[in-house]
Amino acid sequence: MTRKRHRQLVLFTFPALAFFLIFAVFPLIGTIYISFFQENVFVGLKNFNFLFTDENASKRLFFAFLHNCEFFLIAASVQLPLALCMAALLTSGRVRRMTGFYRTLLFIPSTLSVVIVGFIWRLIISPLWGIVEYPLLGEKATALPTITLMSVWQYLGIPLVFLYSALLSIPSNIIEAARVDGASDFRIFFGIKIPLIAPQIGIITILTFIWTFNGFDIIYALNGGMPGPDYSTDVLGTLFYRTFFGWGADQGNQNLGAATATVIFFIILLGTAAYFATVQRRLKVSQL
Amino acid sequence: MKIKKASLVFVMIISLIIPSSLLATSAMAATTLTIESWRADDSVFWKETLIPMYEKANPGVKIVWAPTPSNEYDSALSLRIKGKTAGDVIMCRPYGLTKTLIKNKNLIPLTGLPGLSNFTTQSMQSWANASSVPYCVPSASVGAGFYYNKDIFKELKLTAPKTQAEFIAVLEAIKKNGKYTPLAAAGASADSWALDQMGLELVGPYYWKGDAGGKALDDGMRKATDSEYVAAFSALASWKPYLPKAFSTINYTDAEQLFILGRAAILVEGSWSVKEIAPPGKNVGVFGAPVAKAGDKPYVQVLADHGFGVNASSPNQAAAKKLLTWFTTKEFAQAYANGLPGFFPLSKDKISIDNKMAQAWLNLRDGAVVTAPIGMDKMNTGTPNFFSVINNILNVMMTTKMTPQQAAADLQKSLETWYPPQKKK
Amino acid sequence: MIRQDGRVQTQSKNLIVHLALLFFVLLAIGPILVIVINSFKSTEGIFSGPLKLPDSKTFSLEGFKRAVENGNFIRNYLNSTIITLGATLLTVVCSCLAAYGITEYTTKLASMIAGLFTIGIMLPVTLGTVVILKMMVKFHLLNTHLSLILVYVGICVPLGVILMVTNFRTVSSDLKEAARIDGANEFKTFLIVLPLVMPGVAAVAAITMLPIWNDLWFPLILTTGPQTQTLTLGIQQFVGVHTNDWEALIASLVLGAIPLILLFTLFSKQFIKGLSDGYSK
């Protein structure tokens, strides 16, 4: 019986597993492997040594990492509270038939491509054509936060929809019971709902972390492969792209690119592991 | 039920689309030649003029024009060459990637190609190997300079400047008047190449004495902090008070629009945009880089822009070579010069240029010392390279308080870390 | 009296919630409207006042005409459609099969596979691009639709499986037992159960389609040729190339955004239901 069950299980899961292992897992492992080579010759840690000690390369890597941290911190601290607030309003039971209308419209920015998002916002905040006098994208201090906020604007719909679904699935009898006990809306939200959807909030935070640390789209769409001014919007994703694929007269180097990817991978791995080790010990399928 | 229907439609669409797309790629003409290029802007001219011209004279040959955007061209092309999916005919950059392709035997030598005698050895230099074997047919050169709005100049009683002092006086007069932006240029970091190609490389050759200054830097005989280079940086920095507001956010297209809409009096640009900036009926003139002393010979940058070579792994090499032979003819050069005004053929043939504005660009070369940009040949391979470093430094210098001296020092400091001839002894 | 007070209070509270949501909606939609408005204007109209409505002088549909006529717009649209639909269909099919297997044959191996996919959701697959590129070069798949479809399925399948697992768990076992007693084999039983998880399928399809249609990274690396270029990449390159044809540029931006906006607006209910069905278990 078990054998038959196993056979059935393998049959059903085989296509998904095959795609996943061949086109997601294998490339990642392969990347780590080829990061020890240069032009098909084994060179040990030489690529990593270059990335961390070469005067020009190490500077770029360090700043890209720093910019990524900034991007993540701004994105997480703006996006999550806003999404929670909207989800709370939508599920407050005070908008009734309009819920779908609001929810659909709020999600629309998330269906756009970064190309149009970058274009729209660049036009709106352009000192030349738009409504902002200050050169937000041209100053080193403001360029990265500005782009981050564009990204937040675009992707807000995703955590919103997930948190909204999570809030919807809270059994109504719990809420009713609290209401009978005389709890206010605020009490119910912070005292009952938030703790119940805490795991989802955690997952969204960690996914935001992962996405921002290997993301590159909006920055590339706005500023190209050497994102300025003076590399101030260069993140790990653009650095990786430039290192392995090249940009302008830079022709790129696949092995060095693989080494860069490996470094980024371990940064993400460490961050994720640290999170699961300290905050969220167990991850259940149903929480996703 | 509704969803079921929807998914049915969905499956039907897929089953229709997938086979049709597979068919589309397999049904092709007898010989198809694909041309790899970074000039997406020229697509219409190729598709509507050049390709029909050739296809009519050579039945059985079909030509596909396949452009990739300039910034991704080098990487994408190298990849396609490695993957053996690159086109038969390849548009070649001067130096840079072309030299790499030659070294790796990805292009075939063009020795003996009929029509190559139509070009000087010098004009083939940027696409030849160390022993001067040509690998590409030279097609066009371009230059940089200033467009000016004649109506505004007339209104403010100004004339096109020749010396640096006159240039500043003109800019100052426009600024004082207050109605117009004196000088439109691109300052956004994404377009920082513009401040190099249409900035430092435009005003600099006069100070570093053209090719001699380029060679001295290449060989490590002179440093970027030496006076002639600092003078060049200073000449560029002298524009700073006259640029558009919020300069650090002005893109290349923004700068063009400022000029086209009549809000800027002068635009620093390349000859390649004659069509967009000075269409017939627009009252626009051009002038070249100013000199320091009246009577000095001006320097004019002539940038060998592109040539065409044959992919060594192309199965249609004979047909591709035949096409390249056509590229050497006067017929082609004449069509090119008129179809893409501002791109100047490199062949020895006498070509007449219909477009008056393009002719004005060409006239800038009269009585001037012709020179190539610095840093292109030896410093532009590897990472970092001259191009990426200078673009960034110039962008910072023009958008912040950085002085020309600091910019030159930054360049020198960077060169010392990665360019062997400039390494500290 | 007390009762009426309560109602007034509730109504004013409702009003505040409505106002807050309207504010957010304006923030979300306003910028998009700016671009839509400009797509109906001439270049001069765009630059003389990008935030103004088109009037009789600046109104122009030329942009749409040129966007469709010039360049590779239609071709790119078709490429994006083929790639997105192809990858989505494969992802949905693979996810449903795998999720059914995992929920139906609950063994230790099944939970291990489920765990693998859970980790898979978090894998930053773009970091494996160097190897993906090498693979595609080796199998001569560079510049083909298939190369993108394969990669996207590999990336999207973990989330698809996990979402479908939560959906399949809501299906009662009675129906399956009944089918088996009627002599249906395992695959047949799967097909019988499938209609019950359609909201889940809609959710998986939607959440798969979204990043694929809008992706810039893999098209940039795997399909740069004009024959297989996707719409998003095509538009990015349109923006990147120095063009003064802003009418056509903005029109193509708008045209490129329409399919997904339409899809998510029409199927918004199913999408949410599919996501929340999983949670309610």
Question: How much is the ipTM here?
Answer: 0.90
Contact flag C243-B41 (C-beta cutoff 8 Å): yes
Window from B389-403, C42-56, C249-263 with minimum mean pLDDT: C42-56
With beta carbons less than 8 A apart as the criterion, state whether C214 and C261 touch.
no
Task: State whether residue B104 sits within 8 Å of chain A by CB.
Answer: no
C41-74 burial code (b ≥16 CB/10 A, e <16): bbbbbbbeebeeebeeebebeebbebbeeebbbe
For C279, which residue in chain A has the nearest alpha carbon? A169
For A55-287, give the CATH class: mainly alpha
Chain B nearest CA to C23, separation (Å): 29
Mutation target to probe the B interface, by most B beta carbons within 10 A, among C80, C224, C266 is C224
Interface list for C 106-145 with A (CB within 8 A): 107, 109-110, 113-114, 116-118, 120-135
Mutation target to probe the A interface, by most A beta carbons within 10 A, among B248, B400, B401, B414 is B248
Mutation target to probe the A interface, by most A beta carbons within 10 A, among C15, C35, C96, C129 is C129
Chain C nearest CA to B27, separation (Å): 13
With beta carbons less than 8 A apart as the criterion, state whether A231 and A221 touch.
no
Contact flag A109-C158 (C-beta cutoff 8 Å): no
Per-residue pLDDT in tens (0 to 9) along chain A, 288 residues: 577 888 889 999 999 999 999 999 999 999 999 999 998 899 999 999 999 999 999 999 999 999 999 999 999 999 999 999 999 999 988 888 889 999 999 999 999 999 999 999 999 999 998 889 999 999 999 999 999 999 999 999 999 998 998 998 888 888 889 888 888 888 888 999 999 998 889 889 998 999 999 888 999 989 988 898 999 999 999 999 999 888 877 878 899 999 999 999 999 999 999 988 887 766 554 454
For A122, which residue in chain B has the nearest alpha carbon? B249
In which residue ranges of chain B is pLDDT below 70? Answer: 1-29, 425
For chains A and B, CB pairs below 8 A equal 107
Task: State whether residue A174 sits within 8 Å of chain C by CB.
Answer: no
- Domain B144-301+378-422 maps to which CATH number in 1.10.10.10, 3.40.462.10, 3.40.190.10, 3.20.20.70? 3.40.190.10
Chain A nearest CA to B401, separation (Å): 12
Taking the C-alpha atoms of residue B167 and residue B287, their distance in angstroms, rounded to an integer, is 10
Residue C5 is predicted with a pLDDT of 63
Residue B21 is predicted with a pLDDT of 45
Residue B2 is predicted with a pLDDT of 43
Residue B22 is predicted with a pLDDT of 46
Q: Is the pLDDT of residue C192 over 80?
A: yes
Residue B41 is predicted with a pLDDT of 79
Q: Which residues of C touch A104 (CB under 8 A)?
A: 264-265, 268
Residue B228, number of CB atoms within 10 A of its CB: 17
Contact partners of C by the rule of 3+ C-beta pairs under 8 A? A, B
Amino acid at C85: L
Taking the C-alpha atoms of residue B224 and residue C164, their distance in angstroms, rounded to an integer, is 63
Residue C242 is predicted with a pLDDT of 60
With beta carbons less than 8 A apart as the criterion, state whether A31 and C128 touch.
yes
Interface list for B 242-261 with A (CB within 8 A): 244-250, 254, 258
Q: Which residues of A touch B385 (CB under 8 A)?
A: 249-250
> Which residues on adjacent β-strands are paired with residue B37?
B67
Residue A255 is predicted with a pLDDT of 94
Contact flag C118-A288 (C-beta cutoff 8 Å): yes
Chain C nearest CA to B24, separation (Å): 10
* Residue of A9, A28, A164 lying closest to C107 (CB–CB): A9
For B22-142+304-360, give the CATH class: alpha beta
Residue C18 is predicted with a pLDDT of 94
Amino acid at B4: K
**H helix or E strand, kind and range, residue A41:** strand A41-42
Task: State whether residue A36 sits within 8 Å of chain C by CB.
Answer: no
Residues in chain C: 281
* Residue of C78, C140, C242 lying closest to B253 (CB–CB): C242
Domain with CATH 3.40.190.10 in chain B: 22-142+304-360, 144-301+378-422
Contact partners of B by the rule of 3+ C-beta pairs under 8 A? A, C
For chains A and C, CB pairs below 8 A equal 291
With beta carbons less than 8 A apart as the criterion, state whether A147 and A219 touch.
yes
Q: Give the predicted TM-score (pTM) of the model.
A: 0.91
Contact flag B3-C243 (C-beta cutoff 8 Å): no
Amino acid at C154: G
Q: Which residues of C touch B85 (CB under 8 A)?
A: 140, 142-143, 225
Catalogue all structural domains in chain C, each as residue range(s) with its CATH number. 2-63 (no CATH), 64-280 (1.10.3720.10)
Strands B144-149 and B284-287 come out as antiparallel
Contact flag C226-B67 (C-beta cutoff 8 Å): yes
With beta carbons less than 8 A apart as the criterion, state whether B120 and B348 touch.
yes
* Residue of B71, B188, B248 lying closest to A248 (CB–CB): B71
Which of A107, A196, A197, A93 shows the shortest CA–CA distance to C203?
A: A107
* Residue of C35, C269, C276 lying closest to A100 (CB–CB): C269
Taking the C-alpha atoms of residue A199 and residue B23, their distance in angstroms, rounded to an integer, is 50
Contact flag C240-B69 (C-beta cutoff 8 Å): yes
For C235, which residue in chain A has the nearest alpha carbon? A115
